[in-house]
Every structure is written in structure tokens, then in C-alpha cells.
Chain A
Amino acid sequence: MTTFLRRYPRVVIGGVLLTVLVLLSLFAPCIAPYDPIKLNVAHRLRPPSAEHWFGTDAYGRDVLSRTLWGGQISLTIAVCVSIASTILGTFTGLIAGYFRLMDKIVMRIMDGLMAIPGILLAVAMLSLSKASVQTVVIAITIPEIPRVVRLVRAVVLSLREQTFVEGAVTVGTRAPAIMFRHILPNALTPIVVQATYIAASAVLIEAYLGFLGVGTPPEVPSWGNIIAEGRNFIMLAIWAVLFPGLFLGTMVLAINILGDGIRDMLDPRIAKRL
């Protein structure tokens, strides 16, 4: 364990931070002192106290409870976006990289999607559809897909030329088998690293969308919309923004550090020089 810590400190630091945050969010129903959506307007905008550790917001809701519950939503969004964009992107990338015919068409579409600024696309999609956790996931996922596709395609293109793949082709192995048995395992490292970075950026983008007023619906507390609601009162009740903001920043930080750590761990070429 100590050697692991010494060799991969980032995996440990990032991992521990992330685990703590995930556990806090998962057990929010047990540890949150109040109902996150229960109003108590008599207690609005109270500063942090023994009763409300993180104070209360403009409707008198407990900021600590909301922050813990909000973690669930923000985490769910991060995980869903990360998995969805990675799977869709990997699949599309494999096809684009393997089949020359598809490559041109798929990559033009991806170029098109990538050219649209992600936040603008997401804002447009969200403000035009019914706000829900699902729509937020979709709106963040779509702009992320092209990046995964490009990455996977590049890996596939370089692997195609390798002897073991050419060998398999000559023996007559069918395309799906080559893709999933020979190419995908070798592309896994960069994909996993990319997936963690996507998770980190999904947490941030969710917050930006909330900030711009188009995120998850107000009755579903996520870090994004807790901050979005609190920002109108930032001069009166900084705690309603500060604490969820700290959780948000720490979460992104933890995932980024973990991502760096995993990259170093799985790619010894980089790790060696550190």
C-alpha cells in the first residue's frame, strides 16, 4: 500500500477524495439533517449555525442537506454523461476507423458537431426542451461524443497497421471480432483516461448550465442549480453558493487528479519520467 501510495500518489489522493464525496452523496438520505426540498420561509437566509451547518437558502431550505442530495444528481449526471459519451463515441470511432467508407461520412458529421460550441449547443437544446435530468445528460453528452470518436478513431487507425491486426485480417477473422477482441483492448487506456476527464467536465458543465438558468429543474437539487439559485443572494448569503461551490470544485479536482493518476499508472512510458 505504501509503495502504491509512493508510486501513484495521485490515484490515492484523487481516489480517496472522490470516494468520500461519493459516499457522502450516496448516503445523503441517511446523513442529511433535513429534507432538501422542505420549505421553511421563517428560517430563510440564515447563516451557518449549529442547527444549519451550511446555513439556509432563500426558501429556508437547509444548504447542507441540499448539497449532499445535490451531489447525487451531479454525480449521476457525471457518470451517465461519461458512460454514454464513451460508449457511443467508442462504437462510432471503431466503425469510422475500421471501415474506410464510413470514415468520411462519420467524421464530417463529427466535425460539424464539434464545430458547434458545446455550451451553446447544450443551452439551446435545454432551453428548448423540458428540463429534466435526462435532457441535461443528453445535452452534455452530445457535444462530448466527437472528442471520443476522434480519439478512438486515431487509435484504431494506428492499430490497423500493426502486424497482429493485419494477421487476424489475413486469417479471415470477421470485422466485429477484430474490433472488439484485438483493437478495443489496446485502445482501452486512452479511453478510460478520457472518460474520467469527461466526467470532470460534465460536473462543471452541469454547473454552468445551471448558472445560465437552463439546467436541471429547480425542484431537483443539483450543485448547478443550488448555485444558480443561490447566486441571486450571493451578497446576503454567500454560504448558499460557497459550500456547494466548494463541493463542486473538490469533486472536479478529485476526478482530474484521479484521471492524471490513472493515465500515469496505465501508461508507464509517461509514468517513468515522473
Chain B
Amino acid sequence: MFRRLVRPALAFLGLAMLAPVPAPAAEKVLKAVVHADLKILDPTWNTTYITNRYGYVVYDTLFAFNSKFEPKPQMVDKWTVSPDQLAWTFTLRSGLKFHDGAPVTAADCVASLKRWMVRDPMGQLLSARLVELTAVDAATFQMKLKEPYGLMLETLGRPGVPSFVYPEKIASGPINEQIVASIGSGPFMMKRDQWRPGSKVVYVKNPDYVPRAEPPDFMSGGKIPKLDRLEWHYIPDANTAMSALMTGEVDYYELPPMDFIALFKDNPDIGTMVVDPVGVQQLIRPNASFPPFDNFKARQALLHLASQDDYNAAVVGNPDLHMKFCGAYFMCGSDNDTNVGAILKPDLAKAKALLAEAGYKGERIVVLLPTDRPQYAATVTVMVEKLRAIGVKVDLQAADWSTISIRRAKKDPIDKGGWHLFVTGHGGADASTPVSNFWFNSNCDKANAGWACDPVLHRLTVAWANEPDRAKRHAMIPAIQTRAYESVPYVPTGQFYQPVAFRKNVTGILAAGMPVYWNIDKK
């Protein structure tokens, strides 16, 4: 009845007749819904994921990881290292060009690396050993070191703060001034005049891009731009984004909420794929500067609140998309994956006893609850329920993520805005080593918010970083992890996989650890 009346009425208004006209096939346009709004165009100065991914679209790197997390050359053609491990020489591939047509030179690389070293924690390690970094000729540059540095190529290739190459005149600006230009040598070029902050970023194919000959493997290999035009759409409402994907208004959805994945299973037009084989680790971070969590025992109590399954069920839901159990601090599936020393068993009585041993007597425990990060909020919700079950007096303080980021960084006493616990997440190659795992750092006051403090653990990680031999480094992991489960810099609450969703006419999506847009084609 309703349909019979409404449809002709709409037809009359001319709405139904204006069915969407398919775009002309001549130009391949991919409309992707990205997870956040691109706000900052300087991927060295700013490490938010969206800016990082922008960097990989527009810029290129010297080295890049393959799927085994081995650094492989990207812009670099050949390199040599002296027998004493103190002099490194790198030669660029020929034919590399910036988007403005200028050739990429060794001088550009030197200026970019100098800027990047200030910012990147591993770059700082390198910088501390550096004697000089100079361009030898147009295509060759050289690094001279005081002492050997075993992680040189890992450092240059790591995806956290990548060593993107900017034109020299841009890279030589001060590090505290963000780069606002967008002149890279990567597979796509940004169309600045079509950028609509808060809504849309437009890129076009870089016709001069010279991809490597090797097939693409993770972030390494040939980065061939197959699309003529790439549009990033920012649609904050997940339902709207979902509907847009289902009706074909967009082609690709970077971060569909986990629960929707099941919905796609029976949909003939839509596929899903996990592009990050390592996944995301969520964690509970205690504040080690105040009682009770200045005591190892109180931190150990947090290991016994709930099982990873409990957390994952709330965070992820779909059991196909999370690990059954992952006790590895440095990510299951990574090079440093081991369950040695892992103690993560729900045992509320034990948790209660450990807290009591740590001297907890029913004081207020401040937990920060992010209102705009549903996955973190889910972990917090499970944790708080268990804490209350063992008689902890929880003061749950809700705020948006930005406020929490500021609050957690302050070491204020509890009654002056301080905190005890919060939840965050990280993943990929960054979380996979003792040095680059940001929350693992147990260097007391120099550690990040939470100030995990364990000189023993810190010594172990420094020794790991100083070891040039990969196999020997590998053998050091069990001891590090066993110690970590005693001092508990954080509680790993589970590891899960975030798929992307796409229309089935989109092909060539790479499992590169993050959504990347080279090699993607559209039929």
C-alpha cells in the first residue's frame, strides 16, 4: 500500500528517474573511506596513522619491510658497509623524480634523514652514533658512525616514523615547523586545490613514478600506481559509510566496525581482507608512579582480571578476527613471537590477594574511559567490571580521547587530575621489538605516560638493541618477556585483526600491514 502510493509520487517529483549515472570507464577512480580526517601533511613531524598513510601515498622511503619484517631497499639501489661496520654508503636508483619534476638527489636524502632523526626514537639511537652524514655525489650518500649500529636498515625501513624523502629545500626547514607542501616522489600526487579538509583528499597517479622491478611484498617491492585518481573520503558515521559502500557510492572502506564484517559474508558485491597480518594489540596501562601500581604485585594483579577471550569478545566479537590467546609482548606472528613467561589467567581471588599484598586498602582508583574510541572503551568496560568484582573502588572518568591524551601525560597526584589506569592499542612492526615498542619502555621517568619503571628490564632491552646479530637478538627475547611479566609495564589484553572492506570490482589490495593504495586496480 505504502509502496504503491509513494513510488509514483516520487517518480512524479522526478527523483526516481534520476538514477545514478555510472562514471565513464575511461578514468579509474577509487573512492576510499578512510578512518580519520587528514589534518596534517607532515608525516615526520606528526605520527598519527592518517598522516602516516598519507606519507606512503605521496612520498617514498629509502628502505621498506617485507612480510618477514626484513628491511629491503626501496629508493635505494645498492648499499655497502665497511668491515668495521662504521661506514655506510647508499646509492639511489636512477630515474627517481619529485612531483614537481626535479630529480631526487642524495642531498635531498641527507636533509630528510637529518630532519627525521630528530623525531624518530630509533633515529635518535642512530643519531647518537653518527659522526657525519654527507652526500658524496648526486646519487650517493654516506654515513659515518662512532660505533656499530646493528639496526641500521631496520631503522631506515621501519613504518612507525618512516624516513620519507622530501626535497632538500623543504626538509631543511626547522623540525618544529610542520611541512605544509606536498611534493614527494611517491606513486601518487596530491591535488591541493581539490582538498576539502574534513571531507575529501584527492590524489592522482604520478606518471613519472619508477617502481621497483620486484613484485610487491608487504611494504617493499614495486609500488605501481594503477588508479588514475584516488579519493579519500572521511565519513565519521559508520552506518553512513556502510550504506555508501553497499550502494556503491564508495569502493573501499578502511576501517569497517568489526561487527559489520559478518554482515558482508553473504553480500555478493562486497569482500573483506585483513591487510595487517600482525594485527593490533590492546593493552591496559597502569600508572607506575603512584600506589598501588608502583608495586609490581599490583600490576601483576591486573594480569588475572579476565581472559583475553573476555576482552576480545567485547572488543572484537567475531572469533575469526582475534587470536585465541597471545601472550607475546611483541605481537604474535612477529619475529619476536613467544609465549615464554606469559601468565595471563583469570583468577579473581589471586588478583585480590596480589592487590592486598601490594598494600591496596580500598582507595579510589581512577580509570580513564574514552568516549570516542569504542574498542578501548570496550576493554575498559570489561576491566572495570572485574575490578569492582574484587572490591576495588573504581572512579571511572569519561572524556574524549584528546582530553585523555593530555591527562595521561601529566604526572599529577590522583586528587589533582592524576590517573591510575587507561587502555590503548598499537600494532604492526612497531610493537614487534623491545626497542620500538613504545609502551614497553621501562626507563622510569623517561618512559611514556605511565612511567613504567624497571631498571632490570630496561637494561635487558638496551642490551638487545646493542646486539648487531639478528639470531642472538632473537635468543634474548624469552628472558626479556619473562622479566616483563614480573614488572608488567602493561597488560596485553589481546591481539586482533582489522579487515578492510571493498566492492568486488576492486582488485590488487595488498597485505602491507596497513591500507596502501599502490597496486590496487578497479574493474
Q: Are A41 and B314 in contact (CB under 8 A)?
A: yes
Interface size of A as a range? 20 to 34
Chain B residue with the shortest CB-CB distance to A42: B313
Q: Are B398 and A217 in contact (CB under 8 A)?
A: yes
Q: Which of A213-242 contact B (CB under 8 A)?
A: 213-214, 217-219, 231-236
For the complex, what is the distance from the CA of A233 to the CA of B237, rounded to whole Å?
Answer: 11
Given A231-B239, A235-B239, answer yes or no on A217-B263 (Cβ-Cβ < 8 Å): no
Residues of A within 8 A of B238 (CB): 232
For the complex, what is the distance from the CA of A235 to the CA of B239, rounded to whole Å?
Answer: 7
Q: Are A218 and B369 in contact (CB under 8 A)?
A: yes
Instruction: From B49-57, B172-180, B277-285, B371-379, give the one contacting chain A.
Output: B371-379
Q: Are B399 and A41 in contact (CB under 8 A)?
A: no
For the complex, what is the distance from the CA of A39 to the CA of B398, rounded to whole Å?
Answer: 18
Instruction: Say how far A236's CB is from chain B's closest CB, in angstroms.
Output: 6
Residues of A within 8 A of B374 (CB): 232
Query: Which applies to chain A's interface (DSSP): helix, strand, loop or mixed?
Result: loop
Residues of A within 8 A of B378 (CB): 59
Q: Which of B399-447 contact A (CB under 8 A)?
A: 399-400
For the complex, what is the distance from the CA of A231 to the CA of B257, rounded to whole Å?
Answer: 12
Given A213-B372, A232-B238, answer yes or no on A58-B259 (Cβ-Cβ < 8 Å): yes
For the complex, what is the distance from the CA of A39 to the CA of B372, rounded to whole Å?
Answer: 19
For the complex, what is the distance from the CA of A44 to the CA of B316, rounded to whole Å?
Answer: 11
Q: Are B369 and A217 in contact (CB under 8 A)?
A: yes
B516 at the interface (CB under 8 A from A): no
**Interface size of B in residues (CB-CB distance below 8 Å):** 28
Given A213-B372, A235-B260, answer yes or no on A130-B399 (Cβ-Cβ < 8 Å): yes
For the complex, what is the distance from the CA of A236 to the CA of B257, rounded to whole Å?
Answer: 11
Q: Are B257 and A59 in contact (CB under 8 A)?
A: no
Residues of B within 8 A of A44 (CB): 313-314, 317
The total of interchain contacts (Cβ-Cβ below 8 angstroms) comes to 64
B242 at the interface (CB under 8 A from A): yes
Instruction: Say how far A55's CB is from chain B's closest CB, in angstroms.
Output: 14
For the complex, what is the distance from the CA of A219 to the CA of B396, rounded to whole Å?
Answer: 8
A200 at the interface (CB under 8 A from B): no
A127 at the interface (CB under 8 A from B): yes
A131 at the interface (CB under 8 A from B): yes
Instruction: Say how far A218's CB is from chain B's closest CB, in angstroms.
Output: 6
- Point out which of A44, A232, A233 has the most chain B C-beta atoms below 10 A from its C-beta: A232
Residues of B within 8 A of A42 (CB): 313
Residues of B within 8 A of A232 (CB): 238-239, 257, 374
For the complex, what is the distance from the CA of A44 to the CA of B319, rounded to whole Å?
Answer: 13
A148 at the interface (CB under 8 A from B): no
For the complex, what is the distance from the CA of A236 to the CA of B317, rounded to whole Å?
Answer: 13
Given A41-B313, A217-B398, answer yes or no on A235-B381 (Cβ-Cβ < 8 Å): no
For the complex, what is the distance from the CA of A235 to the CA of B241, rounded to whole Å?
Answer: 12
B363 at the interface (CB under 8 A from A): no
Residues of B within 8 A of A233 (CB): 257, 259
A152 at the interface (CB under 8 A from B): no
Residues of B within 8 A of A94 (CB): none
Chain B residue with the shortest CB-CB distance to A128: B403
Instruction: Say how far B399's CB is from chain A's closest CB, in angstroms.
Output: 6
Given A41-B382, A127-B400, A219-B398, answer yes or no on A235-B369 (Cβ-Cβ < 8 Å): no
Q: Which of A33-50 contact B (CB under 8 A)?
A: 38-39, 41-42, 44-45
Residues of A within 8 A of B263 (CB): 235-236
- Point out which of B371, B384, B396, B399 has the most chain A C-beta atoms below 10 A from its C-beta: B371
B397 at the interface (CB under 8 A from A): yes
Residues of B within 8 A of A236 (CB): 259-260, 262-263
B469 at the interface (CB under 8 A from A): no
Listed by A's residue number, 11 A-B pairs whose Cβ atoms lie within 8 Å are A39-B314, A39-B385, A42-B313, A127-B400, A217-B398, A218-B377, A218-B398, A231-B239, A232-B374, A233-B259, A234-B239
A residues near B (Cβ < 8 Å) are: 38-39, 41-42, 44-45, 58-59, 127, 130-131, 213-214, 217-219, 231-236
B residues near A (Cβ < 8 Å) are: 237-239, 242, 257, 259-260, 262-263, 310, 313-314, 317, 369, 371-372, 374, 377-378, 381-382, 384-385, 396-400
The 10 closest A-B pairs by CB, nearest first: A217-B398, A41-B313, A41-B314, A131-B398, A234-B239, A232-B238, A39-B385, A219-B396, A213-B372, A236-B259
